[in-house]
Amino acid sequence: MEKKLPSLYYNWISLIGSAIALVSFSIIAFLYVLDLTSAGASSYFGIITYMILPIGVLLGLLLIPIGMLIERRQRQQDVASLFPVQFTVNLTDPRHRNAIIGFLIVTAIFLIGTAVGSYQAYHYTETVEFCGEVCHTIMEPEYVAYKQSPHARVTCAECHVGEGANWYVKSKLSGAYQVYAAAANVYPRPIPTPVENLRPARETCEQCHWPDKFYGSRQKEIHRYMADEENTRYTYNMLIDIGGKKYESGRHSGIHWHIDNKVEYIARDSARQDIPWVQVTYQDGTTETYESMYDPAADSLVEEAETRVMDCIDCHNRPTHIYRTPVDLVDNALYTGDISPQLPYIKQQAVYALRAKYTDKDSALVKIENQIREFYRQNYPAVDDTLRAELNQAVSALRTMYTNNFFPYMKVRWDTHPNNVGHSKDKGCYRCHNGYMTTAEGQNITHECNSCHVIMEQGTPGNMEVTNNIKQGLEFQHPMDIGGAWQSMSCTDCHDGGGAVF
Ligand code: HEC
Ligand code: HEC
Ligand code: HEC
Ligand code: HEC
Ligand code: HEC
Ligand code: HEC
């Protein structure tokens, strides 16, 4: 065989290296064409094409010079005593010429391949499939909840990475650690929140929701069901003051007032639920400091702790990974008819079944079904005849709800991550608007029910109290007589999303 390349190249290591590089490269080229021509390939496809195979090419290419170096060293040792080794390039020598042309062609192909490859890898690591499906058991809670959320068409990267090379690199560096954590099985369960180095929300959320577009009130109908035999419905129809820029003053009012006034706070816990100190800096530069009347922050805490400036995530911490509460799930299903309100005590029993703790998904589904059927067998045996279809449907609805909102493997359910919008499951707005955050002059952060929403309708079907006074609304009626306790206590003293505690 005529040797067209430098003789040093003809050694086993370099030859094997070339073979590995060539084979990997051909497979990449083939898969790349396949990827272009077929729609919806699997998520592992990208890992192989754009992450594993390029390592093969690189390794193979590295082996070539390594082999040549080793070969040279050996020859030097063999013949050192006979000939001094010299390095010369002679373009009139066809072997040297071939080597250089070959080297340039391979380098050019490799560079183009690398450019296309890294572009593909860049896009691939930003896809929802890569983030949500590759480590599917770890990301299952986030991914499943996301797919049913209002943001199901927004990619993971649009919120978690955003625009710009800087954050891309940051996210890939922390991503590299996550790959290790997943492979070595050292990841925390559940994945803790708040996410420490989440990109500031104003740089991500505001790509789509900019504050000037908040306007007026949002109407929300909330249908609740009592834990009684009839599953009595209780409805609130309220106007929630989203707020917005006021034409006259040019300033924001209402709920989104917090974004154009700087609100800083100190939290005692990592979940940012226990807030003893809040400071507002108004646009004219004046400040106002509020401290908890009952449990003020120690001076040392105020001096040393880092304050956090409130942004979208301090309220909307569950915009897309929404693990719904048993109460929300069952109330929604009763309203849409997935669970029939004709089944006696179904609200209460369904909430009990969902909120119990189970060790794994399979046994949970079996136990939930058994528990519901057993309840009717013992207390309402007639249901099996008269409402059999409704009972079956309720059981199947509960199984779906459990599957989509409870993740025992990752230890995730509604009570593992607080939701800061509202105040009836978690403290939420009441972390500050609890009536006991005051200034030195004794002025409170507002606690008035009407400062955030007004109730336009409330009551049970056929017994609705209605007003058309948008400013004042109705005085809140608690669905069950608790003697005004709701005025002096927080809703969360009795409610936690898993049914009211007595
Ligand atoms: C609409 C914006 C948005 C989208 C889209 C989004 N996330 Fe999130 N994600 C968040 C926010 C906000 C948090 C909570 C931050 C906090 O509490 O500090 C979060 C938290 C998380 C957490 C921490 C654990 C948890 O359950 O809260 C993981 C893991 C996560 N997201 C993964 C993903 C994956 C995977 C996708 C795509 C399938 C995705 N996210 C899509 C906004 C988003
Ligand atoms: C790429 C665009 C995009 C980004 C980024 C984005 N959103 Fe959204 N958001 C949407 C769309 C689209 C909807 C759905 C609108 C609808 O259903 O009417 C939505 C809806 C919402 C809603 C209303 C949900 C409801 O229940 O009706 C809230 C609150 C919200 N987004 C907050 C956020 C927050 C907080 C962030 C940042 C963590 C964020 N969004 C990032 C596009 C985006
Ligand atoms: C003080 C808490 C708080 C902050 C801070 C906050 N929001 Fe909201 N936001 C709310 C509440 C409460 C609602 C109404 C209730 C709901 O939609 O569930 C709301 C509603 C919305 C909606 C739905 C609006 C509509 O018309 O239906 C969007 C979108 C939204 N917020 C985005 C954002 C973005 C983006 C930011 C950051 C720039 C932000 N919010 C900051 C509390 C807050
Ligand atoms: C970290 C503390 C903090 C949290 C959490 C918080 N707020 Fe506030 N909020 C304030 C402070 C401070 C003020 C200004 C004092 C006042 O107006 O009483 C304020 C003012 C308001 C105002 C009056 C704005 C105006 O027009 O003057 C509304 C409405 C409001 N908040 C709604 C909410 C809602 C809804 C939530 C929960 C989703 C919430 N806030 C969560 C600190 C907070
Ligand atoms: C700081 C603002 C704020 C204050 C003060 C406030 N609320 Fe709310 N409230 C909210 C927000 C935000 C929600 C959640 C709306 C949603 O679900 O989107 C809510 C939800 C509710 C709901 C619906 C609960 C459910 O079952 O879903 C009721 C009822 C309610 N509030 C009653 C009250 C009463 C009574 C008071 C006075 C004691 C009060 N609120 C004070 C902000 C506030
Ligand atoms: C002293 C304890 C207590 C307090 C405080 C309390 N509740 Fe309740 N709540 C109950 C009980 C008990 C029931 C009846 C149980 C049931 O039917 O589920 C109930 C039922 C309800 C229901 C209808 C059924 C359901 O589970 O959704 C709503 C809505 C409700 N409460 C909202 C509130 C709100 C909003 C607040 C705060 C403003 C509040 N409650 C404060 C004890 C309390």
pLDDT for 87: 59
Nearest atom in ligand 5 to 224's CA: 26
Cα of 52 vs centre of ligand 4, distance in Å, is 50
Interacting residues of 144 by C-beta distance below 8 A, sequence separation 6+: 404, 407
Beta bridge partners of 266: 277
Distance CA 394, CA 188 (A): 34
- Are residues 42 and 19 part of one domain? yes
| pLDDT tens-digit readout, 100-154 | 888 788 878 877 877 777 777 777 778 888 888 877 788 899 999 999 999 999 9
Look at the block and give the residue holding tokens 């192909």: 109
Mean pLDDT of 468-486: 93
Question: Which pair of tokens denotes residue 198?
Answer: 């989440």
Full 3-state SS string of 387-450: CHHHHHHHHHHHHHHHHHHCEHHHCECCCCCCCCCCCCCCCHHHHCCCCCEECCCCCECCCCHH
Confidence of residue 43 (pLDDT cuts 50, 70, 90): low
Does a structural domain hold residue 498?
no
Reply yes or no on whether the pLDDT at 173 is more than 60.
yes
Does a structural domain hold residue 502?
no
Instruction: Please return the burial class of 467, using the count of CB atoms within 10 Å of its CB with bins 0-12, 13-18 and 19+.
Output: middle
Do the Cβ atoms of 365 and 402 come closer than 8 Å? yes
- Residue 145, domain extent: 129-198
Q: Choose one of 335, 452, 454, 465 to mutate for the ligand 5 pocket test, by most ligand atoms within 8 angstroms of C-beta.
A: 452
How do the residues of the chain divide into helix, strand and coil, expressed in percent and rounded to 5?
Answer: 50, 10, 40
Q: Indicate the residue among 198, 231, 249 that finishes a domain.
A: 198
- Are residues 429 and 399 part of one domain? no
Does a structural domain hold residue 1?
no
User: What is the percent of the chain with per-residue pLDDT over 90, rounded to a whole number?
Assistant: 58
- Are residues 118 and 46 part of one domain? yes
Look at the block and give the residue holding tokens 């669905």: 479
Question: Which pair of tokens denotes residue 19?
Answer: 């073979």
- Are residues 120 and 15 part of one domain? yes
- Are residues 83 and 30 part of one domain? yes
DSSP 50: I
Helix (H) or strand (E) holding 220: strand 218-225
Q: Rg of the chain's alpha carbons, rounded to an integer? A: 32
| pLDDT tens-digit readout, 57-71 | 889 989 998 999 999
Beta bridge partners of 277: 266, 291
DSSP 466: E
Interacting residues of 432 by C-beta distance below 8 A, sequence separation 6+: 265, 275, 278, 290, 445
Nearest atom in ligand 3 to 206's CA: 35
Distance CA 422, CA 170 (A): 33
- Are residues 362 and 230 part of one domain? no
Confidence of residue 447 (pLDDT cuts 50, 70, 90): very high
- Are residues 311 and 223 part of one domain? yes
Nearest-CA residue for ligand 4 atom 34 is 429
Mode of pairing for the β-strands spanning 308-309 and 437-438: unpaired
Does a structural domain hold residue 205?
no
Do the Cβ atoms of 259 and 244 come closer than 8 Å? no
| pLDDT tens-digit readout, 296-348 | 999 999 999 889 999 999 999 999 999 999 999 999 999 999 999 999 999 99
Helix (H/G/I), strand (E/B), else coil: 469:
coil
Do the Cβ atoms of 314 and 308 come closer than 8 Å? yes
Helix (H) or strand (E) holding 279: strand 277-281
Helix (H/G/I), strand (E/B), else coil: 291:
strand
Q: Indicate the residue among 94, 125, 156 that finishes a domain.
A: 125
Reply yes or no on whether the pLDDT at 419 is more than 70.
yes
Q: Is the CB of 161 under 6 A from ligand 1?
A: no
Reply yes or no on whether the pLDDT at 452 is more than 80.
yes
Q: Residue 167 CB: number of other CB atoms within 10 A?
A: 17
Do the Cβ atoms of 242 and 214 come closer than 8 Å? yes
Q: Is the CB of 322 under 6 A from ligand 2?
A: no
- Are residues 116 and 54 part of one domain? yes
DSSP 140: H
Reply yes or no on whether the pLDDT at 84 is more than 60.
no
Task: Give me the number of domains the chain comprises.
Answer: 4
Helix (H) or strand (E) holding 197: none
Question: Which pair of tokens denotes residue 453?
Answer: 């929403």
- Are residues 358 and 281 part of one domain? no
Helix (H) or strand (E) holding 252: strand 252-253
Do the Cβ atoms of 281 and 297 come closer than 8 Å? no
Highest mean pLDDT among 172-181, 205-214, 386-395: 386-395
| pLDDT tens-digit readout, 13-41 | 999 999 999 998 888 888 888 777 766 55
CB-based pocket (< 6 A), ligand 3: 201-202, 205-206, 209, 211, 218, 240, 242, 255-256, 258-259, 310-312, 314-316, 421
> Helical H runs in 272-341?
299-304, 312-315, 326-336
- Are residues 119 and 11 part of one domain? yes
Q: Indicate the residue among 360, 384, 410 that finishes a domain.
A: 410
Does a structural domain hold residue 499?
no
Do the Cβ atoms of 346 and 340 come closer than 8 Å? yes
Look at the block and give the residue holding tokens 């593992």: 416
Closest CA to 208 of 153, 251, 261, 278: 153
pLDDT for 247: 65
CA of residue 384 relative to chain centroid, distance: 41
Q: Choose one of 335, 491, 502 to mutate for the ligand 6 pocket test, by most ligand atoms within 8 angstroms of C-beta.
A: 491
Does a structural domain hold residue 174?
yes
Does a structural domain hold residue 206?
no
Distances (CA, A) of 51 to 1, 47, 48, 58, 360: 37, 5, 6, 11, 33
- Are residues 115 and 21 part of one domain? yes
Torsion sign over Cα 171, 173, 177, 180: positive
Does a structural domain hold residue 47?
yes
Instruction: Please return the burial class of 243, using the count of CB atoms within 10 Å of its CB with bins 0-12, 13-18 and 19+.
Output: buried
- Are residues 310 and 362 part of one domain? no
* Higher per-residue confidence, 85 vs 408: 408
Q: Is the CB of 198 under 6 A from ligand 1?
A: yes
pLDDT for 165: 73
Distance CA 193, CA 336 (A): 32
Cα of 54 vs centre of ligand 1, distance in Å, is 30
Nearest-CA residue for ligand 1 atom 14 is 317
Ligand number, closest to the Cα atom of 278: 4
Helix (H) or strand (E) holding 264: strand 262-266
Helix (H) or strand (E) holding 472: none
Closest CA to 472 of 445, 449, 447, 443: 449
Torsion sign over Cα 318, 321, 327, 331: positive
* Higher per-residue confidence, 200 vs 80: 200
Reply yes or no on whether the pLDDT at 98 is more than 90.
no
